């Protein structure tokens, strides 16, 4: 069968003309936040990308079609239907496409689809990684192996705070993935600007990141780049405050037997409840900040490509 890839007209026109495009995932809409916060976040993030002179391309699977660039009503449906929409990683793509199903794309599957379309920059909230207790559960996100496969720069507020950040960084190193601190020497921890883990390299401008992207891929070094962009200071929840909340949520998840795809949405919901919505506000702030940086990088990369 021929896979049906559908690009929104403005996304196709931008790609054909070599203009900047920023990919955006849809799992954060369907599974990452409650309605209507998820809908307003999705609209605001696309607006941020446009304000920074790039074209947003929110990615999902609708009726088995790979959709790159969603319309207003399609984003609204994702936000309203939320958890009823299948969460789709790379493993799930052929099944969802062949069955003609709907799906919200994770970081890994968004990277893969963006790379297929020739989109080199992607903004998300936090990447997946190695879960706490992975030495027992072997629970490691497919985001890790996708970074070794798809040549996309991903702007992220580090890895999700619910993960083992040290092991996540070790895994990325093993896979040969550059982890770049954007204006920082320290790997951010999603809600917090500090994690105690150093980044191996630093860039202080979008132009520096664009040159790194070009150098990596021009050398034939396939795979992605982690651009670790700390949450804005005004929205930060310090690690000393959020860490006990995260640990308690992880303990509740394991005692309830929650794992796999259901683990992250459960933990984010638990943390939002305990923090009285403060973590949700932080999540929205960091996603918008990442979108602005990703758009700036996409503009710089498009200029460097000419």
**First vs last Cα of the chain: how many Å apart?**
36
Q: Residue 134: is its pLDDT beyond 70?
A: no
Lowest mean pLDDT among 53-62, 107-116, 145-154, 155-164: 155-164
Protein fold of 5-304:
Indigoidine synthase fold (3.40.1790)
The band of 306, judged by pLDDT with boundaries at 50, 70 and 90, is low
CA distances to 27, 121, 207, 284 from 278, rounded to whole Å, are 20, 28, 33, 10
Lowest mean pLDDT among 30-34, 200-204, 257-261: 257-261
Q: Report the candidate in 56, 71, 106 with the shortest Cα–Cα distance to residue 85.
A: 106
Quick one: average pLDDT of 197-224?
A: 98
β 65-68/5-7 pair status: parallel
Give the integer Cα–Cα distance in Å for 77 and 303. Answer: 35
pLDDT more than 90, % of the chain: 80
Please, is 101 exposed, middle or buried when counting C-beta atoms within 10 Å of its C-beta (0-12, 13-18, 19+)? middle
Q: Residue 101: is its pLDDT beyond 80?
A: yes
Q: Is the dihedral of CA 274, 278, 281, 287 positive or negative?
A: negative
Q: Which residues are catalytic?
A: 25, 160
Q: Please indicate whether residue 117 or residue 83 has the higher confidence score (pLDDT).
A: 117
Q: Residue 272: is its pLDDT beyond 60?
A: yes
Give the integer Cα–Cα distance in Å for 301 and 14. Answer: 13
Quick one: average pLDDT of 60-77?
A: 97
Q: Residue 263: is its pLDDT beyond 80?
A: no
Quick one: average pLDDT of 278-289?
A: 96
The band of 262, judged by pLDDT with boundaries at 50, 70 and 90, is confident
Contacts 24+ apart (CB under 8 A), 42-51: 42/75, 42/78, 42/79, 43/75, 44/284, 44/288, 45/123, 45/287, 45/288, 45/291, 48/288, 48/291, 48/292, 48/295, 49/22, 49/24, 49/123, 49/291, 49/292, 49/294, 49/295, 51/292, 51/295
Give the integer Cα–Cα distance in Å for 152 and 30. Answer: 23
Q: Residue 261: is its pLDDT beyond 80?
A: no
pLDDT score at 1:
58
Mean pLDDT of the chain: 93
Q: Residue 286: is its pLDDT beyond 70?
A: yes
Q: Residue 230: is its pLDDT beyond 60?
A: yes
Quick one: average pLDDT of 157-170?
A: 90
The band of 250, judged by pLDDT with boundaries at 50, 70 and 90, is confident
């Amino acid at each position: 069968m021929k896979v049906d890839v559908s690009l929104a007209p403005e996304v196709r026109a931008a790609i054909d003309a070599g203009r900047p495009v920023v990919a955006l995932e849809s799992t954060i809409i369907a599974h990452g936040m409650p309605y209507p916060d998820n809908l307003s976040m999705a609209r605001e993030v696309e607006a941020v990308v446009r304000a920074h002179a790039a074209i947003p391309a929110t990615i999902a699977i609708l009726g088995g079609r790979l959709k790159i660039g969603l319309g207003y009503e399609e984003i609204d449906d994702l936000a309203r239907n939320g958890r009823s929409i299948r969460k789709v990683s790379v493993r799930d793509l052929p099944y969802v496409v062949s069955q003609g199903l709907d799906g919200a794309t994770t970081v890994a599957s968004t990277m893969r689809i963006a790379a297929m379309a020739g989109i080199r920059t992607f903004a998300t909230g936090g990447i997946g990684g190695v879960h706490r207790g992975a030495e027992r559960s072997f629970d490691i996100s497919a985001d890790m192996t996708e970074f070794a496969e798809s040549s996309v720069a991903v702007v992220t507020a580090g890895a999700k705070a619910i993960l083992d950040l040290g092991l996540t960084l070790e895994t990325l190193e093993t896979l040969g993935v550059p982890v770049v601190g954007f204006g920082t020497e320290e790997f951010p921890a999603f809600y917090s600007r500090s994690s105690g883990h150093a980044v191996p390299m630093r860039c202080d401008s979008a132009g520096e990141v664009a040159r790194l992207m070009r150098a990596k891929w021009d050398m034939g070094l396939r795979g992605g780049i982690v651009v670790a962009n700390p949450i804005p200071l005004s929205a930060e929840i310090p690690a000393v405050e959020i860490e006990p909340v995260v640990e308690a949520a992880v303990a509740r998840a394991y005692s309830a037997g929650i794992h796999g795809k259901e683990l992250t949405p459960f933990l984010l919901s638990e943390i939002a409840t305990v923090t009285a919505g403060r973590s949700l506000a932080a999540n929205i702030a960091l996603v918008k900040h990442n979108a602005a940086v990703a758009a700036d990088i996409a503009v710089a990369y498009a200029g460097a490509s000419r």
